[in-house]
Amino acid sequence: MAMNLGGGGGSMADINVTPMIDILLVLLIIFMVIVPVTPKGLDALVPQPPKNKQVQPPQNDRTIVVQVIFNGAGHPAAYKINEDDVNHADLLPKLTEIYANRAERVMFVRGDDDVDFGQIADVIDIGRAANVDHIGLMTPKIQLGQ
């Protein structure tokens, strides 16, 4: 609280807050515009474990699982579509043939622990080239139903 006691005709200095508020509002607008522009990652579908652990779901012939199997360091990986062995060069034609007449285009990719992720990413790219709409990754925890 300030009191003016006298007749001194001097001027009194006050801080002008208007420019500070203008700067604050401009910064607020800048941050509001920048925040929604965040990069979007890869959409991944993961199969969910069954709710009832005693009842095993029947094998679904519509589910396609592509396995990438580790053959040792320095060797190319082996590939399987469900239980059938497939060469890397035959993956795209086989997947294109499988998904040619399907309405539901879902594929899961399962890789061994020692497989380089680049090989799994290659299988995902091949699946996209075969017009697969949804590609999920299977993990050991999901496979065991834990």
Exposure class string for 21-53: b at 16+ Cβ within 10 A, else e: eeeeeeeeeeeeeeeeeeeeeeeeeebeeeeee
88, 94, 100, 103: CA torsion to nearest 10? -80
- Say whether pLDDT at 24 is over 50: yes
The single-letter code of the amino acid at 83 is E
What is the pLDDT at residue 23? 93
pLDDT category at 57 given cuts 50, 70, 90 is very low
Q: Assess if residue 102 is contained within a domain.
A: yes
pLDDT category at 6 given cuts 50, 70, 90 is low
- Say whether pLDDT at 144 is over 80: no
- Say whether pLDDT at 89 is over 50: yes
Q: Assess if residue 53 is contained within a domain.
A: no
Domains identified in the chain, total number: 1
For residue 131, the 8-state DSSP code is T
What is the pLDDT at residue 46? 74
Q: Assess if residue 71 is contained within a domain.
A: yes
Expressed as residue numbers, the domain containing 138 is 64-144
Q: Assess if residue 130 is contained within a domain.
A: yes
- Say whether pLDDT at 55 is over 80: no
- Mean pLDDT value across residues 101-115: 86
Q: Assess if residue 37 is contained within a domain.
A: no
Q: Assess if residue 14 is contained within a domain.
A: no
- Mean pLDDT value across residues 67-71: 81
CATH number, position 136? 3.30.420.270
Window from 28-42, 80-94, 102-116 with minimum mean pLDDT: 28-42
What is the C-alpha separation between 36 and 57, in angstroms, rounded?
Answer: 41
